[in-house]
Every structure is written in structure tokens, then in C-alpha cells.
Amino acid sequence: MKAAVYKKYGPPEVVKLEEVEKPTPRSNEVLVKVYAATVNRTDCGFRSAEYFVSRFFSGLFKPKYRILGNEFAGIIEAIGKDVKLLNAGDKVFGYNDAKFGAHAEYLTIAETDAITTIPDGVTFEQAAPITEGAHYALCDIRAAMIKSGNNVMIYGASGAIGSAAVQLVKYFGATVTAVCNTQNVEVVRSLGADQVIDYLTQDFTKTDQKFDFIFDAVGKSSFRQCKPLLRNKGIYISTELGKNSENIFLALFTPFLGRKKVLFPLPTIKKEDVVFLKELVESGRYKPLVDRSYPLDKIVDAYKFVETRQKVGNVVITLS
Ligand SMILES: NC(=O)c1ccc[n+]([C@@H]2O[C@H](COP(=O)([O-])OP(=O)(O)OC[C@H]3O[C@@H](n4cnc5c(N)ncnc54)[C@H](OP(=O)(O)O)[C@@H]3O)[C@@H](O)[C@H]2O)c1
């Protein structure tokens, strides 16, 4: 089968299209013919090994799994002998950042992992980007225990995580103030944000509102900057470690030092989360934003674009 393979850590060009052996499903796995995947910041992080810590999961000196791609959508072509929940011919989507593998014509995944059927009327290109940004956003929203009536600021609302966060926070019944640049104001408003601050024309720290939760989805702010905007018992979460990895230390100490605190939840994803996201898509409460698509043989260009850090939502990879 055709696959985008990387054998060493480095820039987008380390990824090359190659013919590799088609995988065989184990007894508890399904074989998925992939029709769409994404290139996202998780793929970029594992490919570049920019943060050394990722090598503890992906291989200290060289990649353990040579095909990236954590989000996928496709059709089940074969099932292992013990598979009960899914059938050959099912249209499915899901997420796998343990062994990746979606930048290829076929992948295998355990039926109990983060995979479920695609809602009716949703294309492979729309289904593939449902999970990555949304599951990070969901972990953080759950950690902050957001509920109806809360006031939430989402900084960096136009990225994959931020655009999912706006929709999920609205689903949980909170009011959203989103921060993005001028050209993304309308699209972020269309996701359901109650107010939008254009960070090019307005200093978001000068708002007179107070928030129960400030979620920095792009890791460009700091707790120090945001603390005055938090209500008593307010929570700050960033998707990045921050200057000198301060968000880790702040998450360890702020719960004991005052009433406003930093959290740094470790992201997880289970089958139930994918099913939950599917139900939101079905009920029209969540729709992943797609910036643009590239065919698999242009995947290096997709990586280069994602690494401009300017994508609006998600970048999809199509396979035939
Ligand atoms: N903790 C984890 O496990 C984990 C996993 C994946 C990703 N991440 C991190 O999460 C962050 C977000 O990932 P993502 O995929 O959602 O990002 P993304 O889609 O690449 O974010 C791009 C968007 O962010 C906006 N942006 C950039 N700088 C901004 C700023 N200063 N203020 C407001 N908006 C800004 C960009 O718009 P502009 O045109 O305004 O620049 C663009 O629309 C990244 O930093 C990534 O490294 C963490």
C-alpha cells in the first residue's frame, strides 16, 4: 500500500511516499481503508520531536512507528475473528495517537479503541477532523468543570483546538468570549461565540469582564497576564507548557496558594468520547472547521502549511 513514511525526526521533508506492506488486523482489530486523514499539530510534534519528551512515546533516537496520522475516516475492509462491535463495510472515523498510521491507504485499530461509525450524511473529509482538536478541548473543559451559566474566554479560537472549544463550551451552556484575529472574527462568531475580541485591534486583557475559565488554546498568553481576568476560583489552562515550562509548576502549586489556579490536564481519549463527539455532530452541535485539503502525495506541503501556525481549524489529507 501507499504510505507517507518518516524514518527520522526532522522537518516536513523527512516524510516520503513509499510502498509498504499492508497491515493485517489482529483478532481484536479492524482493517480500515483510509479515505481521509488530517495533518495536525500532534503529527508535527511527533515528526519534528521538537519537544524531547515526545521521544519517550515515539522512540528515543528514531521513530518507533513510521507512519503518522492520528485522525482517520474510511471503510472497514476486514475484521479480526473476535470483533463484535463493528462490521466489514462500516464507514468509520476515529483517533489513534498510540501508534498513528492514518497517512496510509490502510490502518488497523482495536475495535474497543477510539473508533465509531460516521453519522449519516457526513463525508470522509468532514469526519476525519472530528477528534483531534475536540478531544484536547474536551479534556480541558471537563477539567475546568464548565457548566451552564459560566463565563469562558477562549484565546486562539480559530485553531483546531480553539474552534472545537468554542462549540463544546457553548454545548455545555456557558457564555463564550473568543479571541482571534480580524480575518477570523466572522468564522469564530459563526461557531457560536457570544463575543469576539480581535486581538489585532483590542488588548484582550483590557476587557472589563471576569471569567470562570480562561482557555488559551494556542499557548500564547500567561497565567500572570490572565489572572486579573479570572473570577474567584477561576481556572486557567493553556495547551502549551509556557515560558520555562511554567504551566507545569503553576499547576502543581497554584491549587495550594490561592483561589485562582492553573491546571494542566493530560489529554486522553476513549471510545465513549468519540461516540459523544459523533452525537454532537449528528445533532448539529459540533462541526469541525476545515481550512483546506491536500492529496496524500502533497503531504509535505500540508505539513509546511500546518507549521505556519496559521491554519483555521483543520487540514485534511485525502486518499482515493
Ligand atoms: N498539549 C498537547 O498535547 C497538545 C497537542 C496538540 C497541540 N498542542 C498545542 O496546542 C496549540 C494549538 O493547536 P491547534 O492545532 O489548535 O493550533 P493551530 O490550529 O495550528 O492554531 C492556529 C490558529 O491559531 C491562531 N493564532 C496564532 N497565534 C495567535 C495569537 N497570538 N492569538 C490568537 N490566535 C492566534 C492562528 O490565527 P492567526 O492568524 O491569528 O495567527 C490560527 O488560526 C499549539 O500550540 C499546539 O502545539 C498541544
* CA-nearest residue, atom 38 of ligand 1: 310
Q: Which atom of ligand 1 is nearest to the CA of 179?
A: 33
Which pLDDT band, with edges at 50, 70 and 90, does 15 fall under? very high
User: 63 falls in which pLDDT band (50, 70, 90)?
Assistant: very high
The mean pLDDT value of the chain amounts to 97
User: For residue 249, is pLDDT > 90?
Assistant: yes
Ligand 1 pocket, residue 154 CB under 6 Å:
no
Residues with Cβ within 8 Å of residue 252, at least 6 apart in sequence: none
- Give the position of cell 477562549: 154
CA of 85 to the centre of ligand 1 (A): 35
> In the prediction, which pLDDT does 195 show?
98
The b/e string for 204-242 (b: 16+ C-beta within 10 A; e otherwise) is beeeeeebbbbbbbbbbbbbeebbebbeeebbbbbbbeb
Q: Is 271 exposed, middle or buried (0-12, 13-18, 19+ CB in 10 A)?
A: middle
CA distances from 255 to 86, 144, 153, 234, 261 (A): 43, 13, 20, 11, 5
CA 83 to ligand 1 center in whole angstroms: 37
Nearest protein CA to atom 23 of ligand 1, as residue:
159
For the chain, what is the largest distance between any 2 Cα atoms, rounded to a whole number of angstroms?
60
For residue 54 and ligand 1, the question of a CB distance below 6 A is answered with no
User: Is 40 near ligand 1, meaning CB less than 6 Å away?
Assistant: yes
pLDDT in tens, 179-199: 999 999 999 999 999 999 999
Which of ligand 1's atoms lies nearest the C-alpha of 159? 19
Q: With beta carbons less than 8 A apart as the criterion, state whether 74 and 33 touch.
A: yes
Q: Give the per-residue pLDDT at 272.
A: 98
Q: Whose CA is nearest to atom 39 of ligand 1?
A: 310
Q: Cα(87) to centroid of ligand 1, in Å?
A: 37
So what's the pLDDT on residue 262?
A: 98
267 lines ligand 1 (CB under 6 A): yes
Average pLDDT, integer, range 56-79: 96
Local confidence band at 162 (pLDDT 50, 70, 90 cut-offs): very high
Does 265 sit in the ligand 1 pocket, CB within 6 Å? no
Nearest 5°: phi and psi at 290? -115, 125
Specify the residue with its C-alpha closest to ligand 1, atom 33: 156
For the CA of 220, the closest atom of ligand 1 is: 31
Cell numbers of 279, please? Answer: 452525537
Q: Kindly give the distance from the C-alpha atom of residue 81 to the centroid of ligand 1, in angstroms, as a whole number.
A: 42
Q: How far apart are CA 298 and CA 291, in angstroms?
A: 16
The reported pLDDT for the residue numbered 161 is 98
Which tens digits make up the pLDDT trace of 81-137?
999 999 999 999 999 999 999 999 999 999 999 999 999 999 999 999 999 999 999
Give the pLDDT of residue 257. 86
pLDDT band of residue 54 (cuts 50, 70, 90) is confident
52 pLDDT tier (thresholds 50, 70, 90): confident
Q: Is the pLDDT of residue 53 over 90?
A: no
Please give the grid coordinates belonging to residue 306: 500546518
Q: Ligand 1 in contact with 309 (CB < 6 A)?
A: yes
Residue 51: pLDDT above 90?
Answer: no
Higher-confidence residue: 51 or 224?
A: 224
**Which residues does residue 237 pair with via DSSP β-bridges, in sequence order?**
215
* 60 Cα: distance to centroid of ligand 1 (angstroms): 26
Separation of alpha carbons 72 and 106, rounded Å: 10
What average pLDDT score do residues 164-168 get? 98
